[in-house]
């Protein structure tokens, strides 16, 4: 211990103004201000000296087809270009520029993988929108159109053969990520979320453990409304940590959602800001132990701007904290 201020490892932040052009209208919680709030907070705070801003590339159709149906991609693009205001459900608001924004958001994860595998930065945070973890193979859901996390994991697996542990701490179950890798034994999906009986999208029961060859490579930890830091700490110690050790991943992908904060009315969970710092510390320790420090993080939910920005900063500070 030096007794000085905390020191942080370098952190690449992938983001692009095109993600802000996804206009969901005046009354929609998934707003451009979310990303702006996070970036303002990061650049003004203790991590500012270690941030490296990187612009993403666009995801190519071949990258998206690993996760999505071609017909769905055409339907989504057509909806945007034709002036539609939503796709399938009014939750999924869009505008002319939304398809481009979604390609960039999905491409950010690919750029993140390239940064990690090119030894440019082992820690990457993609501050992008629209979010992705609810998007299914042929269906948008819950503000999500393309499954950014699943597209990145499929790319990582295909091009680098990594054994990937996906950890999703958004307040809601990432049904789309689970669906994408349900039968995949080399990509583990673990989510801590508000119990599906009480919460959108109504999936993510503890009984769901994967299918066929993927059986055992899914771990859902549903929590009751009002659950907080102690409940999450218990889940990390007794369930998620042991699952990481048993799976022995060599890469981590984090679906980072901050809507479990008590101030965020999108869930009944009662997390505090410090809990997100604890999550960052856990992921960093797992990654150091198993995965050469490789961690790719993608922004998912979080709709209370102050809690979102503070939570993201706390998580990333925990993740990047210099050990020792
Ligand atoms: Zn959420």
| pLDDT tier, 16 (very low <50, low <70, confident <90, very high otherwise) | very high
Fold of 11-320: 3.40.800
Q: How far is the CA of 310 from the centre of ligand 1 (A)?
A: 16
**134 in active site:** yes
Residues above pLDDT 90, as percent of the chain: 98
Mean pLDDT for 203-221 is 98
Q: How far is the CA of 323 from the centre of ligand 1 (A)?
A: 30
Please give the Cα distance from 254 to 240 (Å, whole number): 13
SS3 122: coil
Helices (H), the chain: 33-44, 61-64, 70-81, 98-117, 148-160, 175-180, 229-235, 241-247, 273-290, 305-320
Q: How far is the CA of 173 from the centre of ligand 1 (A)?
A: 7
Strands 89-93 vs 86-87: parallel, antiparallel or unpaired: antiparallel
Q: How far is the CA of 171 from the centre of ligand 1 (A)?
A: 5
Q: What is the pLDDT of residue 4?
A: 84
Q: How far is the CA of 118 from the centre of ligand 1 (A)?
A: 31
Q: Where are the domains positioned within the chain? A: 11-320
Q: Which tens digit of pLDDT belongs to each residue from 260-319?
A: 999 999 999 999 999 999 999 999 999 999 999 999 999 999 999 999 999 999 999 999
Mean pLDDT for 240-263 is 98
Q: What is the pLDDT of residue 5?
A: 87
Residue 3 has pLDDT above 80, yes or no: no
Please give the Cα distance from 175 to 134 (Å, whole number): 5
Please give the Cα distance from 10 to 4 (Å, whole number): 18
Q: Which tens digit of pLDDT belongs to each residue from 39-82?
A: 999 999 999 999 999 999 999 999 999 999 999 999 999 999 99
Q: Which tens digit of pLDDT belongs to each residue from 119-145?
A: 999 999 999 999 999 999 999 999 999
Nearest to 112 by CA among 65, 149, 146: 149
Query: What is the residue-averaged pLDDT of the chain?
Result: 97
Query: Which residues are near ligand 1, the ion (C-beta closer than 5 Å)?
Result: 170-172, 257, 259, 301
Q: What is the pLDDT of residue 323?
A: 78
Q: How far is the CA of 112 from the centre of ligand 1 (A)?
A: 22
Q: What is the pLDDT of residue 2?
A: 58
| pLDDT tier, 1 (very low <50, low <70, confident <90, very high otherwise) | low
Q: How far is the CA of 122 from the centre of ligand 1 (A)?
A: 26
| pLDDT tier, 146 (very low <50, low <70, confident <90, very high otherwise) | very high
Please give the Cα distance from 59 to 151 (Å, whole number): 9
Residue 319 makes CB contacts below 8 A (sequence gap 6+) with: 11, 123, 280, 281, 283, 284, 295, 297
Q: Which of 22, 68, 134, 282 is catalytic?
A: 134
Q: How far is the CA of 1 from the centre of ligand 1 (A)?
A: 37
Q: How far is the CA of 228 from the centre of ligand 1 (A)?
A: 16
């Amino acid at each position: 211990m030096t007794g000085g201020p905390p020191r942080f490892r370098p952190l690449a932040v992938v983001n692009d103004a095109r993600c802000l052009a996804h206009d969901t209208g005046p009354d929609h919680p998934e707003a451009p201000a979310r990303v702006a709030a996070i970036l303002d907070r990061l650049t003004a705070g203790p991590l500012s000296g270690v941030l490296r801003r990187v612009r993403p590339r666009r995801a190519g159709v071949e990258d998206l087809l690993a996760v999505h149906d071609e017909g769905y991609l055409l339907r989504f693009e057509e909806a945007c270009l034709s002036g539609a205001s939503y796709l399938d459900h009014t939750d999924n608001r869009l505008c002319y520029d939304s398809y481009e924004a979604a390609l960039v958001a999905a491409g950010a994860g690919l750029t993140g993988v390239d940064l990690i595998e090119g030894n440019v930065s082992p820690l990457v945070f993609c501050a992008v929108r629209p979010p992705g973890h609810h998007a299914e193979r042929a269906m948008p859901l819950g503000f999500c159109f393309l499954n950014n996390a699943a597209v990145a994991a499929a790319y990582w697996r295909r091009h680098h053969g990594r054994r990937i542990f996906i950890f999703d701490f958004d307040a809601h179950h990432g049904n789309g990520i689970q669906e994408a890798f349900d039968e995949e034994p080399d990509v583990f999906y673990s989510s801590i979320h508000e119990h599906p009986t009480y919460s959108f999208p109504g999936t993510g029961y503890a009984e769901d453990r994967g299918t066929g060859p993927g059986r055992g490579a899914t771990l859902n930890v549903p929590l009751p409304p009002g659950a907080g830091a102690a409940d999450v700490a218990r889940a990390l110690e007794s369930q998620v940590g042991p699952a990481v050790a048993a799976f022995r991943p060599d890469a981590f992908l984090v679906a980072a959602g901050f809507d479990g904060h008590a101030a965020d009315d999108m869930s009944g969970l009662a997390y505090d800001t410090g809990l997100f710092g604890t999550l960052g510390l856990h992921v960093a320790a797992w990654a150091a132990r198993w995965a050469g420090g490789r961690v790719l993080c993608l922004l998912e939910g979080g709709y209370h701007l102050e809690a979102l920005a503070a939570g993201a900063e706390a998580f990333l500070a925990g993740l990047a904290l210099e050990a020792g």
